[in-house]
Amino acid sequence: GQNIDQPTEMTATEGAIVQINCTYQTSGFNGLFWYQQHAGEAPTFLSYNVLDGLEEKGRFSSFLSRSKGYSYLLLKELQMKDSASYLCHNAGNNRKLIWGLGTSLAVNP
Amino acid sequence: EPEVTQTPSHQVTQMGQEVILRCVPISNHLYFYWYRQILGQKVEFLVSFYNNEISEKSEIFDDQFSVERPDGSNFTLKIRSTKLEDSAMYFCASSDARGYYEQYFGPGTRLTVT
C-alpha cells in the first residue's frame, strides 16, 4: 500500500537544530516534498528532493534516501515562528499525491 | 507576488444542498488541484486537473464531486448534496508547467455543513 509516516509531535528550543523524519512507501516515486503549515493556514512549499542526498535552502535542508524510503527535514537556528506542522508529501507513480499527517513542531523560548 | 485566491473564505450550508467553491489559480500555472483537510486531520488529495480534464482523482472524489474550469481564470469544485462529513477546509492549489513540483496553495474555504 501507500503510506507516509512521520512523528506526530516534536518539541525544540529556540536557536537549536531539529530533524523531522519521514518514511514512505509508495508505488513508484516522483519526488518527495516538504511543506510547512501554520495552524489555520494553507500549506507552503519548503523543499523538493528527487535525487538522493541533501538539499540546502537557508535554515532548512532536506535529505532523501530513495533506497530506504526515507527523508528528513533539518531546521537550524530555530525561531519561534517555526512552530508549525511539517508535512511530508510524496508523489508516487499514480501521482495521487500522498500526504503524511504532519509533525507538529513546538519551539519553546 | 502572484497568489492563489479562493472564495468564499467560509461557507455554511445545510445537508443535502449543493455548494460551489471557487478558486483563481496563478495565471500562468497549468496544473490545478483540490485538497481537503478535516479539522485536526491530514491534508487529503481530491483531484488534479490539467489541460481541461481531470488527470488524477482520489477515492474521496466520487460522483458527489465535480470540477470545472469555466473560463480562463476560475477553477471550481462542486459538491452535490452535501453531507455532514463534508465539513472541512478545502484548499485549491496550482503549479506551473513542471507539473507536480511546487504547489501554491490558496487560503482555503472552510465549509460547514449543518
Output the tens digit of pLDDT for each of chain B's 114 residues: 789 999 999 999 999 999 999 999 999 898 999 999 999 888 888 999 988 899 889 889 999 999 999 887 899 999 999 999 999 999 999 988 666 678 899 999 999 999
Higher pLDDT, B46 or A25: B46
Q: Is 60 exceeded by the pLDDT of residue A1?
A: no
Residue entry with cell 480534464:
B53
A69 part of contact set with chain B, CB < 8 Å: no
Point out the residue among B41, B56, B105 whose CB comes nearest to the CB of A43.
B105
Residues in A touching B91 (Cβ below 8 Å): 42-43
Confidence category of residue A2, pLDDT binned at 50, 70, 90: low
A28-45 mean pLDDT: 88
Q: What is the mean pLDDT of chain A?
A: 89
Q: Is B60 helix (H, G, I), strand (E, B) or coil?
A: coil
Residue pair A109/A80 in contact by the 8 Å Cβ criterion: yes
Q: Are B45 and A99 a contacting pair at CB < 8 A?
A: yes
A46-75 mean pLDDT: 94
* pLDDT for the residue numbered A95: 54
Residue pair A44/A57 in contact by the 8 Å Cβ criterion: no
B28 part of contact set with chain A, CB < 8 Å: no
* pLDDT for the residue numbered B72: 78
- DSSP code of residue B88: E
Residues in B touching A43 (Cβ below 8 Å): 43, 91, 105
* pLDDT for the residue numbered B99: 63
Phi, psi torsion values for A38, nearest 5 degrees? -80, 155
- DSSP code of residue B9: S
Neighbours of B16 (CB within 10 A): 10
Q: How many pairs of residues across A and B have Cβ atoms under 8 Å apart? A: 48
